[in-house]
Amino acid sequence: MSNTKFPEEDPDIEQEALQRALGIIGEFFHSYSLVVLDSDGILNYYSSSYYEGKMLCSEAIAEMNKDNINEEEEEEEEEEE
């Protein structure tokens, strides 16, 4: 993912970029969810369908939480040694 900064004077360019990205993702993937934070700090999310998006985001959060728990356990084990 790029760290591209969009010009503040042209907010429509963000929407154009999102539409292009969604078109590409939708062409290659049956189920998808795209979550972005725009330049105004507003969270936007787009999914192939409501239920698929909900499931994908739930699974992503579960995986992130799982990774955090494993990292904490590893840090505790290292401290004990």
> Is position 3 within any domain?
no
> pLDDT by residue (tens digit) across 23-80?
999 999 999 999 988 888 888 889 999 999 999 999 999 998 887 766 666 767 777 7
Interior angle at CA 10, CA 9 and CA 12, nearest 5:
150
Residue 43: strand pairing partners: 37
> Is position 6 within any domain?
no
> Is position 24 within any domain?
yes
Confirm whether pTM is higher than 0.85: no
Tally the domains of the chain. Answer: 1
Which residue range(s) make up the domain with 43?
Answer: 12-80
* Calpha distance 58→76 (Å, rounded): 27
